Chain A
């Protein structure tokens, strides 16, 4: 009990107060993985290229506050790091992902939020048909915007916890609305919905013995 109390009060290392958040995202990871391996046979390489699925075991899952991807959309000038979790500190450095959603490729909803005066200020220009690129270490995904709509924050909450929405992979980006207005606490949200149009599925493959 004494040792657990001490370890609660005193950590093994000095705490890190760096304002930089950590990252597992490496934009060059996919390029490196695609480089031909001299030792592997050409048959194996062909098999890998043709594979449409990624094994879940090959996906590195982020910890809270870690950047695991980058989201971009040239048409509206979106370019933001994506962090796992979405508290005030994280949203000061990029866009944050709600923990009720999943990573890209898993066939479920991906919910990202950001501030309307920083990384998601550009969402005011979003339109149906815009292509949003979502880079991760295991695959580069593309999502095409299908709808842009303003919701009250309570309605949005109902919408996000609606289980039927989780039947297909959908990227949902939202931010406070309206933009450039002094309204005190904002109760409306601008929501951008996008369907996946490129990228590989992630599945949990059975281990063969």
Chain B
């Protein structure tokens, strides 16, 4: 009797250890899936680019163009009506898609450059300053328009996008390996726990602990971060990039909580199944006894 009890205790201890590793394995699967859906997938990445991102990008372009224009002595009113939110949106999306697909993209700046150039000539003409074609003044205007165009091109390119693309590619390579490894590990651990127990509802009880543990670990920290808004103090700039970073983190944390919710539901289902199995086993045992 004492021998059986000792065996049972060691079986429970081994089940707890396996259950702990199963919990970690499930958590890693959830992390991989959340990162895949929230950051690495093109849809997940682009969905963070809302209207505010384009508006802040446009504000940034206008500010930078103004800061460049003022010391040149050119009237800053030349910038009025030069930039449009629709063009910014198209070029930001095009640039992002080009970078993510590796196909490249050249922002369409011809119309913007033409509007700026026309404004400069019109305003100087209004001040009585004639700019002859090919003159040094004409060259200065051309280089001014080129500089504003390069400010625009730089602004529609998301800061750090090349590094983000590299990390994304690296993640993609390891994602499948990681997912297969952790799924296989989870399967082995589940099979081991099931094999350890004669009554399978007991094995399911340990598995439900693991699923619940993974759910809790994936829920608590994101919840604390979301509620505290700690990540909103991130030192990112300019404003459109800050907005993108904070929105992306917020989205990833929300996905973690959704993932944790799915695991929680799974845990409840396992508990229900284990309870039914136990009830059936008790009935069966009573039938045999009588």
Find out whether the CB atom of A15 lies under 8 angstroms from the CB atom of B67. Answer: no
Give Cα A11–Cα B63 distance, bound, in whole angstroms: 24
Give Cα A15–Cα B74 distance, bound, in whole angstroms: 32
Least CB distance, A126 to chain B, in whole angstroms: 17
Within 8 A of B (CB), among A140-175: none
Find out whether the CB atom of B66 lies under 8 angstroms from the CB atom of A92. Answer: yes
Given A10-B231, A15-B233, A182-B74 contact (CB < 8 Å):
yes
Find out whether the CB atom of A9 lies under 8 angstroms from the CB atom of B71. Answer: no
Least CB distance, A32 to chain B, in whole angstroms: 35
Interface of A is mostly: loop
Contacts of A15 in B (CB 8 A): 233, 235-237, 242
Which one of A33-41, A74-82, A113-121, A201-209 contacts B? A113-121
Find out whether the CB atom of B129 lies under 8 angstroms from the CB atom of A11. Answer: no
Give Cα A186–Cα B74 distance, bound, in whole angstroms: 11
Give Cα A184–Cα B136 distance, bound, in whole angstroms: 9
Contacts of A4 in B (CB 8 A): none
Within 8 A of B (CB), among A1-36: 8-15, 17, 19
Q: Does B59 contact A (CB under 8 A)?
A: yes
Find out whether the CB atom of B73 lies under 8 angstroms from the CB atom of A183. Answer: yes
Most buried by A among B131, B140, B229: B140
Q: How many residues of B contact A (CB 8 A)?
A: 34
Least CB distance, B138 to chain A, in whole angstroms: 9
Q: Which residue of A lies closest to B70 (CB)?
A: A115
Given A19-B59, A180-B127, A180-B129, A116-B233 contact (CB < 8 Å):
no
Contacts of B235 in A (CB 8 A): 8-11, 15
Q: Does A100 contact B (CB under 8 A)?
A: no
Quick one: which of A92, A179, A184 contacts B67, CB cutoff 8 A? A92
Q: Does B31 contact A (CB under 8 A)?
A: no
Within 8 A of A (CB), among B244-259: 246
Q: Which residue of B lies closest to A88 (CB)?
A: B67
Q: Does A89 contact B (CB under 8 A)?
A: yes
Least CB distance, B84 to chain A, in whole angstroms: 19
Contacts of B141 in A (CB 8 A): 182
Q: Which residue of B lies closest to A12 (CB)?
A: B233
Contacts of B131 in A (CB 8 A): 182
Tell me how many residue pairs across A and B have CB atoms closer than 8 Å: 76
Interface string of B54-78 (1 = CB under 8 A from A): 0010010001001100111111100
Find out whether the CB atom of A89 lies under 8 angstroms from the CB atom of B140. Answer: no
Find out whether the CB atom of A117 lies under 8 angstroms from the CB atom of B75. Answer: yes
Give Cα A199–Cα B96 distance, bound, in whole angstroms: 58
Give Cα A14–Cα B76 distance, bound, in whole angstroms: 31
Interface of B is mostly: helix
Find out whether the CB atom of A117 lies under 8 angstroms from the CB atom of B230. Answer: no
A: interface residue count bin:
20 to 34
Find out whether the CB atom of A186 lies under 8 angstroms from the CB atom of B73. Answer: yes
Given A116-B73, A117-B76, A118-B70, A182-B129 contact (CB < 8 Å):
yes
Q: Does A192 contact B (CB under 8 A)?
A: no
Contacts of B238 in A (CB 8 A): 17
Find out whether the CB atom of A182 lies under 8 angstroms from the CB atom of B124. Answer: yes
Least CB distance, A191 to chain B, in whole angstroms: 16
Quick one: which of B73, B230, B236 contacts A176, CB cutoff 8 A? B73
Give Cα A34–Cα B213 distance, bound, in whole angstroms: 69
Q: Which residue of B lies closest to A15 (CB)?
A: B242
Contacts of A176 in B (CB 8 A): 71, 73
Quick one: which of A8, A115, A117, A182 contacts B137, CB cutoff 8 A? A182
Most buried by B among A9, A13, A89, A117: A117
Give Cα A9–Cα B230 distance, bound, in whole angstroms: 11
Least CB distance, A204 to chain B, in whole angstroms: 37
Q: Does B275 contact A (CB under 8 A)?
A: no
Find out whether the CB atom of B73 lies under 8 angstroms from the CB atom of A179. Answer: yes
Find out whether the CB atom of B129 lies under 8 angstroms from the CB atom of A10. Answer: no
Q: Which residue of A lies closest to B236 (CB)?
A: A15
Interface string of B123-140 (1 = CB under 8 A from A): 010010101000011001
Q: Does A43 contact B (CB under 8 A)?
A: no
Given A180-B129, A182-B137, A183-B73, A9-B67 contact (CB < 8 Å):
no
* Further 6 A-B residue pairs, CB within 8 A, beyond A14-B229, A15-B233, A91-B70: A10-B230, A17-B239, A117-B75, A182-B124, A182-B141, A184-B72
User: What are 6 sample pairs from A and B whose C-beta atoms fall under 8 A apart?
Assistant: A17-B237, A17-B238, A19-B63, A118-B70, A176-B71, A180-B73
